[in-house]
Chain A
Amino acid sequence: MIYLDNSATSFPKPETVGQAMLNFINNIGANPGRSGHVLSIEAAKVVYYAREEIAELFGVSDPLRVVFSSNATESINMVIKGMCKPGDHVLVSPMEHNAVMRCLENCRSHDVSFSVLPSNDEGMVLVDKMAEAILPNTVLIIVNHVSNVSGLIQPIREIGKTAKELNIPFLIDAAQSAGVFDINMETDNIDLVAFTGHKALYGPQGTGGLVIADEFSHDRIAPLKYGGTGSKSECEVQPSFLPDKFESGTQNAVGIAGLLEGVKYIKKIGLDNIRAKEKELAKRLYEGLSSIPGIKIYSKNNENYASTIPFTIDSITTSEISDILNEKYGVLCRAGLHCSPGAHSKIGTYPDGTARLSPGWFTTQEEIDKTIEAIKEMVNGS
Protein backbone atom coordinates (compact mmCIF):
# COMPACT_ATOMS: atom_id res chain seq x y z
CA MET A 1 0.00 0.00 0.00
CA ILE A 2 1.27 3.46 -0.89
CA TYR A 3 -0.16 6.23 1.26
CA LEU A 4 -0.24 9.57 -0.56
CA ASP A 5 -2.95 11.33 1.42
CA ASN A 6 -0.81 13.14 3.95
CA SER A 7 -2.60 16.43 3.29
CA ALA A 8 -5.71 14.83 4.79
CA THR A 9 -3.96 13.05 7.68
CA SER A 10 -0.33 12.04 7.92
CA PHE A 11 0.35 8.33 8.03
CA PRO A 12 2.23 6.52 9.35
CA LYS A 13 3.21 8.36 12.54
CA PRO A 14 6.56 8.19 14.33
CA GLU A 15 6.52 5.16 16.64
CA THR A 16 6.92 7.37 19.70
CA VAL A 17 3.50 8.94 19.07
CA GLY A 18 1.54 5.74 19.63
CA GLN A 19 3.87 4.66 22.42
CA ALA A 20 3.29 7.90 24.33
CA MET A 21 -0.47 7.58 23.94
CA LEU A 22 -0.40 4.00 25.15
CA ASN A 23 1.78 5.00 28.08
CA PHE A 24 -0.60 7.82 28.95
CA ILE A 25 -3.69 5.64 28.83
CA ASN A 26 -2.07 2.79 30.78
CA ASN A 27 0.15 4.60 33.25
CA ILE A 28 -0.96 8.22 33.66
CA GLY A 29 -4.61 8.39 32.72
CA ALA A 30 -5.73 11.10 35.12
CA ASN A 31 -7.40 14.43 34.44
CA PRO A 32 -4.84 17.19 33.78
CA GLY A 33 -5.09 20.15 36.14
CA ARG A 34 -8.16 18.97 37.97
CA SER A 35 -6.62 17.50 41.11
CA GLY A 36 -3.44 17.75 43.17
CA HIS A 37 -2.47 14.10 43.13
CA VAL A 38 0.56 12.69 41.41
CA LEU A 39 -1.20 11.34 38.31
CA SER A 40 -3.16 14.53 37.74
CA ILE A 41 0.09 16.49 37.92
CA GLU A 42 1.78 14.02 35.58
CA ALA A 43 -1.07 14.49 33.12
CA ALA A 44 -0.87 18.27 33.48
CA LYS A 45 2.87 18.12 32.83
CA VAL A 46 2.37 16.23 29.58
CA VAL A 47 -0.09 18.87 28.42
CA TYR A 48 2.18 21.67 29.59
CA TYR A 49 5.26 20.25 27.86
CA ALA A 50 3.23 20.07 24.66
CA ARG A 51 2.38 23.75 25.08
CA GLU A 52 6.09 24.52 25.48
CA GLU A 53 7.09 22.62 22.35
CA ILE A 54 4.33 24.20 20.28
CA ALA A 55 4.99 27.73 21.59
CA GLU A 56 8.62 27.35 20.59
CA LEU A 57 7.65 26.00 17.17
CA PHE A 58 5.66 29.16 16.44
CA GLY A 59 8.03 31.67 18.05
CA VAL A 60 5.88 32.47 21.08
CA SER A 61 7.61 32.94 24.43
CA ASP A 62 4.69 32.16 26.77
CA PRO A 63 3.52 28.50 26.51
CA LEU A 64 0.22 29.42 28.15
CA ARG A 65 -0.70 31.23 24.94
CA VAL A 66 -1.06 27.82 23.28
CA VAL A 67 -4.74 26.90 23.57
CA PHE A 68 -5.66 23.33 22.75
CA SER A 69 -8.71 22.46 20.69
CA SER A 70 -9.81 19.46 18.68
CA ASN A 71 -8.47 20.71 15.32
CA ALA A 72 -7.78 23.78 13.18
CA THR A 73 -11.48 24.05 12.34
CA GLU A 74 -12.44 24.52 15.96
CA SER A 75 -9.65 27.07 16.42
CA ILE A 76 -10.80 29.04 13.38
CA ASN A 77 -14.36 29.00 14.74
CA MET A 78 -13.03 30.23 18.07
CA VAL A 79 -11.50 33.28 16.42
CA ILE A 80 -14.26 34.15 13.96
CA LYS A 81 -17.15 33.55 16.35
CA GLY A 82 -15.25 35.05 19.27
CA MET A 83 -14.07 38.23 17.54
CA CYS A 84 -16.65 39.24 14.98
CA LYS A 85 -19.60 41.33 16.08
CA PRO A 86 -22.61 42.45 14.04
CA GLY A 87 -21.47 44.97 11.43
CA ASP A 88 -17.90 43.63 11.28
CA HIS A 89 -16.11 42.65 8.08
CA VAL A 90 -13.48 39.95 7.45
CA LEU A 91 -10.99 39.63 4.60
CA VAL A 92 -9.93 36.19 3.38
CA SER A 93 -7.65 34.76 0.72
CA PRO A 94 -9.32 33.09 -2.28
CA MET A 95 -7.85 29.72 -1.19
CA GLU A 96 -9.73 29.24 2.07
CA HIS A 97 -10.99 25.88 3.31
CA ASN A 98 -14.60 25.40 4.39
CA ALA A 99 -13.30 25.62 7.96
CA VAL A 100 -13.20 29.35 7.30
CA MET A 101 -15.86 29.77 4.62
CA ARG A 102 -18.69 27.86 6.30
CA CYS A 103 -18.05 29.66 9.54
CA LEU A 104 -18.16 33.03 7.76
CA GLU A 105 -21.26 32.04 5.80
CA ASN A 106 -22.93 31.14 9.07
CA CYS A 107 -21.92 34.51 10.53
CA ARG A 108 -23.73 36.35 7.73
CA SER A 109 -26.93 35.81 9.71
CA HIS A 110 -25.29 37.76 12.55
CA ASP A 111 -24.56 40.63 10.16
CA VAL A 112 -20.88 39.78 9.71
CA SER A 113 -19.70 40.26 6.12
CA PHE A 114 -16.60 39.14 4.29
CA SER A 115 -14.79 39.64 1.02
CA VAL A 116 -11.81 38.16 -0.78
CA LEU A 117 -8.36 39.74 -0.93
CA PRO A 118 -6.96 40.66 -4.35
CA SER A 119 -4.93 37.79 -5.80
CA ASN A 120 -3.19 36.58 -8.94
CA ASP A 121 -4.51 33.74 -11.15
CA GLU A 122 -2.98 31.11 -8.88
CA GLY A 123 -4.71 32.54 -5.81
CA MET A 124 -1.67 34.21 -4.28
CA VAL A 125 -2.59 37.32 -2.32
CA LEU A 126 -1.35 40.53 -3.90
CA VAL A 127 0.17 42.17 -0.88
CA ASP A 128 0.58 45.60 -2.48
CA LYS A 129 -3.16 45.69 -3.16
CA MET A 130 -4.28 44.58 0.30
CA ALA A 131 -4.88 48.10 1.56
CA GLU A 132 -7.45 48.70 -1.19
CA ALA A 133 -9.57 45.83 0.11
CA ILE A 134 -9.72 47.09 3.68
CA LEU A 135 -13.05 48.53 4.77
CA PRO A 136 -13.58 50.79 7.79
CA ASN A 137 -15.22 47.84 9.58
CA THR A 138 -12.60 45.18 8.70
CA VAL A 139 -11.63 43.45 11.95
CA LEU A 140 -9.75 40.37 10.78
CA ILE A 141 -7.66 39.00 7.91
CA ILE A 142 -7.58 35.21 7.44
CA VAL A 143 -5.16 33.44 5.12
CA ASN A 144 -4.69 29.75 4.46
CA HIS A 145 -0.88 29.52 4.66
CA VAL A 146 -0.55 26.51 2.36
CA SER A 147 -3.45 25.49 0.14
CA ASN A 148 -4.78 21.99 0.67
CA VAL A 149 -5.98 22.10 -2.94
CA SER A 150 -2.94 23.27 -4.91
CA GLY A 151 -0.14 23.49 -2.36
CA LEU A 152 0.21 27.23 -3.04
CA ILE A 153 2.22 28.96 -0.31
CA GLN A 154 0.98 32.41 0.68
CA PRO A 155 3.53 35.14 1.49
CA ILE A 156 2.50 35.28 5.16
CA ARG A 157 5.43 37.40 6.28
CA GLU A 158 4.59 40.14 3.78
CA ILE A 159 0.87 39.85 4.51
CA GLY A 160 1.60 40.02 8.25
CA LYS A 161 3.73 43.12 7.83
CA THR A 162 1.00 44.86 5.86
CA ALA A 163 -1.75 43.71 8.26
CA LYS A 164 0.28 45.18 11.11
CA GLU A 165 0.69 48.48 9.27
CA LEU A 166 -3.06 48.51 8.69
CA ASN A 167 -3.62 47.57 12.36
CA ILE A 168 -5.85 44.60 11.54
CA PRO A 169 -5.48 41.27 13.37
CA PHE A 170 -4.06 38.49 11.20
CA LEU A 171 -5.05 34.82 11.55
CA ILE A 172 -3.37 32.07 9.55
CA ASP A 173 -4.81 28.63 8.95
CA ALA A 174 -1.68 26.54 9.36
CA ALA A 175 -3.41 23.16 8.92
CA GLN A 176 -1.18 22.25 5.97
CA SER A 177 1.93 24.22 6.85
CA ALA A 178 2.65 23.70 10.55
CA GLY A 179 5.50 21.24 10.84
CA VAL A 180 6.82 21.82 7.32
CA PHE A 181 7.19 25.59 6.95
CA ASP A 182 8.77 28.02 9.37
CA ILE A 183 6.21 30.15 11.16
CA ASN A 184 7.46 32.75 13.62
CA MET A 185 4.54 34.74 14.92
CA GLU A 186 6.76 37.53 16.21
CA THR A 187 8.91 38.17 13.16
CA ASP A 188 6.12 37.31 10.71
CA ASN A 189 3.64 39.62 12.51
CA ILE A 190 1.01 36.92 12.90
CA ASP A 191 -1.49 37.47 15.69
CA LEU A 192 -3.20 34.09 15.65
CA VAL A 193 -2.28 30.65 14.32
CA ALA A 194 -4.87 27.87 13.99
CA PHE A 195 -3.14 24.49 13.71
CA THR A 196 -4.13 20.87 13.61
CA GLY A 197 -2.17 18.04 15.17
CA HIS A 198 -2.87 15.19 12.79
CA LYS A 199 -1.17 16.38 9.62
CA ALA A 200 2.46 17.55 9.47
CA LEU A 201 2.85 17.69 13.25
CA TYR A 202 2.41 13.90 13.16
CA GLY A 203 0.07 13.80 16.15
CA PRO A 204 -3.25 11.95 16.36
CA GLN A 205 -6.60 13.12 15.05
CA GLY A 206 -8.61 15.18 17.51
CA THR A 207 -5.70 17.42 18.47
CA GLY A 208 -5.02 20.98 17.44
CA GLY A 209 -5.04 24.45 18.81
CA LEU A 210 -4.93 28.18 18.60
CA VAL A 211 -1.70 30.05 19.32
CA ILE A 212 -2.09 33.64 20.43
CA ALA A 213 0.86 35.98 19.85
CA ASP A 214 2.61 37.32 22.95
CA GLU A 215 1.45 40.87 22.30
CA PHE A 216 -2.06 40.15 21.03
CA SER A 217 -4.79 40.97 23.54
CA HIS A 218 -6.99 37.92 23.95
CA ASP A 219 -9.63 40.21 25.45
CA ARG A 220 -10.66 40.71 21.83
CA ILE A 221 -11.82 37.09 21.60
CA ALA A 222 -14.80 35.79 23.57
CA PRO A 223 -14.75 32.05 24.35
CA LEU A 224 -16.64 29.69 22.07
CA LYS A 225 -17.25 27.27 24.92
CA TYR A 226 -17.94 27.86 28.59
CA GLY A 227 -17.55 25.38 31.42
CA GLY A 228 -15.26 23.68 33.87
CA THR A 229 -11.54 24.38 33.68
CA GLY A 230 -10.28 23.02 36.99
CA SER A 231 -9.43 26.59 37.97
CA LYS A 232 -11.41 29.10 40.05
CA SER A 233 -13.96 26.42 40.75
CA GLU A 234 -15.68 28.61 43.30
CA CYS A 235 -16.64 31.03 40.54
CA GLU A 236 -19.46 30.47 38.06
CA VAL A 237 -18.03 33.04 35.68
CA GLN A 238 -15.58 31.86 33.00
CA PRO A 239 -11.90 32.53 33.88
CA SER A 240 -10.35 35.39 31.92
CA PHE A 241 -6.79 34.03 31.79
CA LEU A 242 -5.07 31.78 29.28
CA PRO A 243 -5.35 29.00 28.41
CA ASP A 244 -8.32 28.20 30.68
CA LYS A 245 -10.50 30.93 29.16
CA PHE A 246 -10.71 28.91 25.95
CA GLU A 247 -10.28 25.36 27.30
CA SER A 248 -13.53 24.40 29.01
CA GLY A 249 -14.03 20.71 29.55
CA THR A 250 -11.45 17.98 30.01
CA GLN A 251 -8.70 18.17 27.42
CA ASN A 252 -7.73 15.35 25.06
CA ALA A 253 -4.63 14.61 27.11
CA VAL A 254 -4.10 11.20 25.49
CA GLY A 255 -4.05 12.88 22.09
CA ILE A 256 -1.86 15.70 23.33
CA ALA A 257 0.62 13.13 24.70
CA GLY A 258 0.88 11.82 21.14
CA LEU A 259 1.06 15.29 19.65
CA LEU A 260 3.92 16.18 21.99
CA GLU A 261 5.95 13.29 20.59
CA GLY A 262 5.01 14.22 17.02
CA VAL A 263 6.27 17.77 17.52
CA LYS A 264 9.46 16.55 19.21
CA TYR A 265 10.02 14.22 16.27
CA ILE A 266 9.74 16.88 13.58
CA LYS A 267 12.00 19.20 15.56
CA LYS A 268 14.58 16.44 15.82
CA ILE A 269 14.49 15.87 12.07
CA GLY A 270 14.39 19.60 11.38
CA LEU A 271 11.77 21.44 9.35
CA ASP A 272 14.37 22.29 6.70
CA ASN A 273 15.08 18.58 6.17
CA ILE A 274 11.40 17.65 6.08
CA ARG A 275 10.68 20.41 3.58
CA ALA A 276 13.63 19.47 1.38
CA LYS A 277 12.67 15.78 1.30
CA GLU A 278 9.01 16.40 0.59
CA LYS A 279 9.87 18.92 -2.10
CA GLU A 280 12.21 16.43 -3.73
CA LEU A 281 9.47 13.77 -3.71
CA ALA A 282 6.97 16.25 -5.14
CA LYS A 283 9.44 17.26 -7.85
CA ARG A 284 9.91 13.64 -8.84
CA LEU A 285 6.16 13.11 -8.91
CA TYR A 286 5.57 16.32 -10.83
CA GLU A 287 8.17 15.48 -13.47
CA GLY A 288 7.00 11.90 -13.76
CA LEU A 289 3.36 12.87 -14.21
CA SER A 290 4.16 15.76 -16.58
CA SER A 291 5.48 13.29 -19.15
CA ILE A 292 2.15 11.40 -19.29
CA PRO A 293 -0.11 12.56 -22.13
CA GLY A 294 -3.58 13.76 -21.13
CA ILE A 295 -2.59 14.69 -17.58
CA LYS A 296 -3.00 18.20 -16.28
CA ILE A 297 -1.28 19.25 -13.04
CA TYR A 298 -2.58 22.22 -11.06
CA SER A 299 0.46 22.99 -8.96
CA LYS A 300 3.84 24.21 -10.12
CA ASN A 301 7.28 22.85 -9.64
CA ASN A 302 8.66 26.00 -8.01
CA GLU A 303 9.28 27.58 -4.62
CA ASN A 304 5.74 28.96 -4.39
CA TYR A 305 4.28 25.48 -3.95
CA ALA A 306 4.41 22.82 -1.24
CA SER A 307 4.47 19.09 -1.99
CA THR A 308 0.77 18.61 -2.81
CA ILE A 309 0.17 17.51 -6.41
CA PRO A 310 -3.39 17.93 -7.74
CA PHE A 311 -4.07 16.56 -11.21
CA THR A 312 -6.75 15.49 -13.66
CA ILE A 313 -6.72 13.08 -16.59
CA ASP A 314 -8.69 13.93 -19.74
CA SER A 315 -10.31 10.54 -20.13
CA ILE A 316 -10.95 9.53 -16.50
CA THR A 317 -12.97 11.31 -13.82
CA THR A 318 -11.24 12.22 -10.58
CA SER A 319 -13.30 9.77 -8.52
CA GLU A 320 -12.43 6.99 -10.96
CA ILE A 321 -8.75 7.92 -10.69
CA SER A 322 -8.77 7.50 -6.92
CA ASP A 323 -10.86 4.31 -7.10
CA ILE A 324 -8.57 2.67 -9.67
CA LEU A 325 -5.42 3.76 -7.83
CA ASN A 326 -6.86 2.38 -4.61
CA GLU A 327 -8.24 -0.91 -5.89
CA LYS A 328 -5.76 -1.87 -8.60
CA TYR A 329 -2.52 -0.31 -7.40
CA GLY A 330 -2.93 0.24 -3.66
CA VAL A 331 -2.18 3.94 -4.02
CA LEU A 332 -4.25 5.98 -1.58
CA CYS A 333 -5.12 9.53 -2.53
CA ARG A 334 -8.04 11.91 -2.26
CA ALA A 335 -10.27 13.00 -5.12
CA GLY A 336 -12.90 15.71 -5.31
CA LEU A 337 -13.14 19.22 -3.93
CA HIS A 338 -11.19 18.76 -0.69
CA CYS A 339 -13.65 20.85 1.35
CA SER A 340 -12.53 23.89 -0.61
CA PRO A 341 -14.92 24.78 -3.46
CA GLY A 342 -13.68 28.37 -3.58
CA ALA A 343 -10.06 27.35 -4.01
CA HIS A 344 -11.04 24.91 -6.78
CA SER A 345 -12.99 27.67 -8.50
CA LYS A 346 -9.95 29.91 -8.32
CA ILE A 347 -7.68 27.38 -10.04
CA GLY A 348 -10.37 26.36 -12.53
CA THR A 349 -11.15 22.87 -11.28
CA TYR A 350 -14.66 23.44 -9.91
CA PRO A 351 -16.98 21.48 -9.88
CA ASP A 352 -15.11 18.37 -11.05
CA GLY A 353 -12.25 18.73 -8.60
CA THR A 354 -8.91 16.97 -8.84
CA ALA A 355 -7.13 13.86 -7.67
CA ARG A 356 -4.61 14.92 -5.05
CA LEU A 357 -1.36 13.17 -4.26
CA SER A 358 0.32 14.33 -1.09
CA PRO A 359 3.60 12.74 0.01
CA GLY A 360 4.83 13.04 3.58
CA TRP A 361 8.04 12.59 5.52
CA PHE A 362 7.71 8.79 5.47
CA THR A 363 7.06 8.52 1.71
CA THR A 364 9.87 6.93 -0.28
CA GLN A 365 11.19 7.60 -3.80
CA GLU A 366 10.32 4.03 -4.69
CA GLU A 367 6.70 4.68 -3.76
CA ILE A 368 6.66 7.79 -5.91
CA ASP A 369 8.10 5.85 -8.87
CA LYS A 370 5.54 3.07 -8.45
CA THR A 371 2.76 5.66 -8.34
CA ILE A 372 3.96 7.27 -11.57
CA GLU A 373 4.08 3.86 -13.23
CA ALA A 374 0.57 3.05 -11.97
CA ILE A 375 -0.83 6.28 -13.39
CA LYS A 376 0.95 5.70 -16.70
CA GLU A 377 -0.58 2.25 -16.93
CA MET A 378 -3.99 3.57 -15.96
CA VAL A 379 -3.88 6.26 -18.66
CA ASN A 380 -2.69 3.79 -21.30
CA GLY A 381 -5.46 1.38 -20.37
CA SER A 382 -8.24 3.93 -20.44
Chain B
Amino acid sequence: MKSYGYVLFYSTSAALRTEKVAKILNIPVKLVSVPRQLGSDCGVCIQFDTAYEEGIRELLESKRIEYSRIHI
Protein backbone atom coordinates (compact mmCIF):
# COMPACT_ATOMS: atom_id res chain seq x y z
CA MET B 1 0.00 0.00 0.00
CA LYS B 2 1.27 3.45 -0.89
CA SER B 3 2.02 5.90 1.86
CA TYR B 4 1.76 9.61 1.23
CA GLY B 5 3.74 12.60 2.36
CA TYR B 6 2.67 16.22 2.17
CA VAL B 7 4.50 19.45 1.46
CA LEU B 8 2.83 22.40 3.09
CA PHE B 9 3.40 25.88 1.70
CA TYR B 10 2.86 29.44 2.77
CA SER B 11 1.31 30.32 -0.57
CA THR B 12 -0.66 28.68 -3.36
CA SER B 13 1.83 30.10 -5.88
CA ALA B 14 4.62 28.00 -4.38
CA ALA B 15 2.40 24.90 -4.35
CA LEU B 16 1.58 25.42 -8.04
CA ARG B 17 5.23 25.90 -8.91
CA THR B 18 6.14 22.67 -7.10
CA GLU B 19 3.39 20.79 -8.92
CA LYS B 20 4.62 22.07 -12.28
CA VAL B 21 8.30 21.32 -11.66
CA ALA B 22 7.49 17.87 -10.26
CA LYS B 23 5.58 17.01 -13.43
CA ILE B 24 8.54 18.06 -15.56
CA LEU B 25 10.81 15.84 -13.44
CA ASN B 26 8.32 12.94 -13.65
CA ILE B 27 7.69 12.93 -9.91
CA PRO B 28 4.03 12.03 -9.40
CA VAL B 29 2.35 14.60 -7.16
CA LYS B 30 -1.15 15.82 -6.55
CA LEU B 31 -2.46 19.19 -5.48
CA VAL B 32 -4.86 18.51 -2.60
CA SER B 33 -6.51 20.38 0.24
CA VAL B 34 -4.35 20.45 3.34
CA PRO B 35 -5.47 17.48 5.49
CA ARG B 36 -7.32 18.81 8.49
CA GLN B 37 -4.89 17.29 11.00
CA LEU B 38 -1.99 19.16 9.41
CA GLY B 39 -3.57 22.61 9.67
CA SER B 40 -3.64 25.13 6.86
CA ASP B 41 -1.54 27.95 5.57
CA CYS B 42 -2.94 28.43 2.10
CA GLY B 43 -5.56 25.76 1.72
CA VAL B 44 -3.72 23.48 -0.69
CA CYS B 45 -0.63 21.33 -0.44
CA ILE B 46 1.31 18.82 -2.49
CA GLN B 47 0.70 15.13 -1.85
CA PHE B 48 3.46 12.76 -2.90
CA ASP B 49 4.31 9.09 -2.68
CA THR B 50 6.88 8.74 0.12
CA ALA B 51 9.02 6.71 -2.27
CA TYR B 52 9.75 10.06 -3.94
CA GLU B 53 10.63 11.94 -0.74
CA GLU B 54 14.25 12.48 -1.73
CA GLY B 55 13.28 13.77 -5.14
CA ILE B 56 10.76 16.17 -3.61
CA ARG B 57 13.31 17.51 -1.13
CA GLU B 58 15.89 17.98 -3.91
CA LEU B 59 13.32 19.75 -6.05
CA LEU B 60 12.39 22.20 -3.29
CA GLU B 61 16.06 22.84 -2.53
CA SER B 62 17.27 23.24 -6.11
CA LYS B 63 14.41 25.50 -7.15
CA ARG B 64 14.60 27.44 -3.89
CA ILE B 65 10.88 27.07 -3.33
CA GLU B 66 9.65 28.51 -0.05
CA TYR B 67 7.68 25.91 1.90
CA SER B 68 6.36 25.60 5.41
CA ARG B 69 7.16 21.96 6.18
CA ILE B 70 7.14 18.40 4.91
CA HIS B 71 4.93 15.93 6.68
CA ILE B 72 5.63 12.23 6.27
Least CB separation from B65: chain A residue:
A64
A241 at the interface (CB under 8 A from B): yes
What 1/0 flags go to A314-353 for Cβ under 8 Å of B?
0000000000000000000000000000000000000000
Q: A36-B44, A41-B44, A232-B41 are known contacts. Are A244 and B13 too (CB-CB below 8 A)? A: yes
Contact across chains for A44 and B12 when beta carbons are under 8 A apart:
yes
A35 at the interface (CB under 8 A from B): yes
Number of A-B contacts (CB under 8 A): 63
CA–CA, A348 to B42, complex, Å? 54
Closest approach, in angstroms, between the C-beta of A242 and any C-beta of chain B? 8
Chain B residues with Cβ below 8 Å from A45 are 16
Closest approach, in angstroms, between the C-beta of A181 and any C-beta of chain B? 27
**B:45-72 near A, CB below 8 Å:** 63-66
Contact residue among A35, A64, A241 (Cβ-Cβ distance under 8 Å from B43): A35
Contact across chains for B41 and A233 when beta carbons are under 8 A apart:
yes
Contact residue among B13, B31, B33, B40 (Cβ-Cβ distance under 8 Å from A64): B13
B22 at the interface (CB under 8 A from A): no
Contact across chains for B44 and A48 when beta carbons are under 8 A apart:
no
Least CB separation from A41: chain B residue:
B44
Contact across chains for A41 and B12 when beta carbons are under 8 A apart:
yes
CA–CA, A37 to B12, complex, Å? 12
Closest approach, in angstroms, between the C-beta of A211 and any C-beta of chain B? 15
Contact across chains for B40 and A33 when beta carbons are under 8 A apart:
no
Contact across chains for B13 and A51 when beta carbons are under 8 A apart:
yes
A169 at the interface (CB under 8 A from B): no
Interface of B is mostly: loop
B17 at the interface (CB under 8 A from A): yes
Contact residue among A44, A47, A52 (Cβ-Cβ distance under 8 Å from B20): A52
Contact across chains for A33 and B17 when beta carbons are under 8 A apart:
no
Chain A residues with Cβ below 8 Å from B16 are 44-45, 48
Closest approach, in angstroms, between the C-beta of A374 and any C-beta of chain B? 49
CA–CA, A5 to B37, complex, Å? 56
Interface of A is mostly: loop
Closest approach, in angstroms, between the C-beta of B67 and any C-beta of chain A? 10
Closest approach, in angstroms, between the C-beta of A230 and any C-beta of chain B? 6
CA–CA, A232 to B44, complex, Å? 13
A147 at the interface (CB under 8 A from B): no
Closest approach, in angstroms, between the C-beta of B38 and any C-beta of chain A? 12
Contact across chains for A33 and B63 when beta carbons are under 8 A apart:
no
CA–CA, A35 to B42, complex, Å? 7
Chain A residues with Cβ below 8 Å from B12 are 32-33, 40-41, 44, 48, 230-231
Contact across chains for B13 and A48 when beta carbons are under 8 A apart:
yes
CA–CA, A47 to B15, complex, Å? 13
CA–CA, A34 to B42, complex, Å? 7
Chain B residues with Cβ below 8 Å from A32 are 12
Least CB separation from A234: chain B residue:
B41
What 8 pairs across the A-B complex have the smallest Cβ distances? A36-B43, A33-B12, A231-B11, A241-B66, A48-B16, A36-B33, A231-B10, A44-B12
| Cross-chain pairs A/B with CB under 8 angstroms, 12 sampled | A33-B42, A35-B43, A36-B34, A36-B40, A44-B16, A47-B13, A62-B63, A230-B11, A231-B9, A231-B42, A241-B14, A242-B66
Instruction: Name A residues whose Cβ lies closer than 8 Å to a Cβ of B.
Output: 32-37, 40-41, 44-45, 47-48, 51-52, 62-64, 229-233, 239, 241-244
